[in-house]
Amino acid sequence: MTDHMMTPRTAPVDPRDRGGPAQPMLIVDGMKKYFPIRAGVFNRKVAEVKAVDDVSFYVVKGETLGIVGESGCGKSTLARLLMHLIEKDAGELILDGDLVGGSTGVLLDGLRRALQMVFQDSSSSLNPRLPIEQSVAYGPKVQGASGKSAKAQARSLMEKVGLNPNLFGQRYPHELSGGQKQRVNIARALALAPRLLILDEAVSALDKSVEAQVLNLLGDIKKQLNLTYIFISHDLHVVRYISDRVMVMYLGQLVEIGPADQIYEAPKHPYTQALLACRLSMDPEARVDAAPLAGDPPSPVSPPSGCRFHTRCAFVEDVCKAKTPKLGDVLKLSADKHLAACHMVHPDSGHSRAPAHATAA
């Protein structure tokens, strides 16, 4: 284990920091992934699923960036693209100031160590035939640690995530509860001392009481290990609780991004507004009689023209079908800006509800 893991430091300066504290941990520029749909005898490409379509954003050091959206909006594909688990079609990744890949940038191996992912708890996230201690020790072993030191690391990590290594180390995944499995998942992701953790629906499958335990654990280790999170979830309550900033995705595109409280208290995009209205109240008197969002998202194979949300939007006008609304240059603006890709927030866009002058941020 690196000395960083052993001594949690209080100073914000991290020895691994290359680009300085103001340099974003990760910059994602123009990320694109189209999955081909093949059919016929010759396996020809007949169509494409535009899973992630020109997404740009950055993650500030030490923050938690929440990503929300309905299933099929491309949030999980995006996570796998960042992890280089699937090949991107276009786009650049800049990790702490260094371009990933390319001739001068950091190598994939460096990225792998800096970026780790916690998968959704399910039967498939842990190898069913490996005792969990070995699952955790696998990463360090791959990176060249001796069997003994990898084992020691695994045991100390298990302790860190609240699992007694003497009690649990030799158990198999099927002997663990959902919450315990998720702790193992987190320990495994921490094994390479990463700086950025991607949490893909990491608490979604857990019971509420266990979910709170795991969320608290995530908060603790973030502080201890000076981590940055990308937190992907469809649970809007959880995203609000854990995130500093939130980005909303719809059909492969980024439609709104900004500080969590601004997004939740004053959402600009009608999609975000509808999504937030789908949160369930705990009050049986405050029931909704009509669903805020009708139907399912359209197919990402042939997304609607113009604004992709126009087929379900309550404020749709002709301009929405004709022109794609711009989000603004996310990468050039500071992190506290609240941006939305909607004609209603852009002055002079031609939408009747758009502000007249360029005063809106």
Partner 1 sequence: MNAMTSPDLSQATPHPAPFLRVEDLRVKFVSRDATVRAVNGISFNLERGKVLCVIGESGSGKSVMMRSLLRLHPKKRTVIEGTMMVGEHDIGAVSDRAMTQLRGSLISMVFQEPMTALDPLYTVGDQIAETVRRHEGLSKEAAWARALELLELVRVPSPERRLKAYPHELSGGLRQRAVIAMALSCRPSLLLADEPTTALDASVQIQILVLLRKIQQEMGMSMIFVTHDLGVAAQIADQVAVMYAGRIIEYGNARDVLLNPQHPYTKAMLAATAKDQDRNLPLEAIAGNPPDLRALPDGCSFAPRCKYAGPDCIVTMPPPVTDIRGHMARCFKVEAADGPLAFDERVAEPA
Partner 2 sequence: MTDAVADSSLRPPASRPASAVRVRSYWGSVWHRLRYDYVTLFCLVLIIAIVLTAVFAPLISPMDPYKSSMAHRLRPIGYHNYLLGTDEQGRDILSRMLYGGRVSLTMGILPVALATIIGGLFGVVAGYFGGKVNMLIMRTMDVFFAFPSVLLAVAISGSLGGGITNQLLTLTVVLIPPLCRVAETATSQVRTMDFVDAARSTGASTLSILFTHVLINVMSPVLVYASTLVSVSIILASGLSFLGLGVSPPTADWGLMLSTLRQSIYVQPIVSAIPGVAILITSIAFNLLSDGLRQAMDVRA
Residues at the site binding partner 1, with contacts judged by CB under 8 A: 70-71, 177-180, 207-213, 215-216, 219-220, 234-238, 240-244, 260, 274-275, 278-296
Rounded Cα distance between 197 and 118, Å, is: 7
Distance CA 28, CA 58 (A): 6
Question: Measured from the CB atom, is 137 or 293 closer to partner 2?
Answer: 137
C-alpha 210/C-alpha 125 separation (Å) is: 18
The 3-class secondary structure across the chain, one letter per residue, is CCHHHHCCCCCCCCCCCCCCCCCCCEEEEEEEEEEEEEECCCCEEEEEEEEEEEEEEEECCCCEEEEECCCCCCHHHHHHHHCCCCCCCEEEEEECCEEECCCCCECHHHHHHHEEEECCCCCCCCCCCCCHHHHHHHHHHHCCCCHHHHHHHHHHHHHHCCCCHHHHCCCCHHHCCHHHHHHHHHHHHHCCCCCEEEEECCCCCCCHHHHHHHHHHHHHHHHHHCCEEEEECCCHHHHHHHCCEEEEEECCEEEEEEEHHHHHHCCCCHHHHHHHHCCCCCCCCCCCCCCCCCCCCCCCCCCCCCCCCCCCCCCCCHHHHHCCCCCCCCCCCCCCCCEECCCCCCCCCCCCCCCCCCCCC
291 binds, among partner 2, partner 1, none (CB under 5 to 8 A by kind): partner 1
Binding mask 167-186 for partner 2 (x = CB under 8 A): xx-xxx-xx---xx--x-x-
125 binds partner 2 (CB under 8 A): yes
Q: Is 164 in the site for partner 2 (CB under 8 A)?
A: yes
Q: Is the dihedral of CA 182, 185, 191, 192 positive or negative?
A: negative
- By beta-carbon proximity to partner 1, the closer residue of 136 and 242 is 242
Residues 200-219 that bind partner 2 (CB under 8 A): 212-213, 216-217
Q: Name the minimum Å distance from CB 226 to partner 1.
A: 17
275 binds, among partner 2, partner 1, none (CB under 5 to 8 A by kind): partner 1
Comparison of 46 and 85: residue with beta carbon closer to partner 2: 85
Min dist. Cβ of residue 129 to partner 2 (A): 4
The partner in contact with residue 287, picked from partner 1, partner 2, none with C-beta cut-offs of 5 to 8 angstroms by kind, is partner 1
Interface residue with partner 2 among 113, 234, 323, 337 (CB under 8 A) is 113
Alpha carbon of residue 357 to chain centroid: 34
Which residues from 80-99 bind partner 2, rule CB under 8 A? 80, 83-85
Q: Which residue has the tokens 């709170």?
A: 212
Q: Could you tell me the smallest distance in angstroms from the CB atom of residue 108 to partner 1?
A: 33
| Binding status of residue 35 toward partner 2 by CB under 8 A | no
**Rounded least distance, CB 308 to partner 1, Å:** 15
Rank residues 143 and 311 by Cβ distance to partner 1 and give the closer one.
311
Q: Among 5, 47, 99, 130, which residue sits at the site for partner 2 (rule: CB under 8 A)? A: 130
CB of 54 to partner 2, least distance (A): 24
Quick check: 120 binds partner 2 (CB under 8 A)?
yes
Question: Considering beta carbons, is residue 177 or 305 the nearer one to partner 1?
Answer: 177
Give the interface with partner 2 as residue ranges (CB under 8 A).
80, 83-85, 108-109, 112-113, 115-117, 119-120, 122, 124-131, 135, 138-139, 142-143, 159, 161-164, 167-168, 170-172, 174-175, 179-180, 183, 185, 188-189, 191-192, 212-213, 216-217, 220
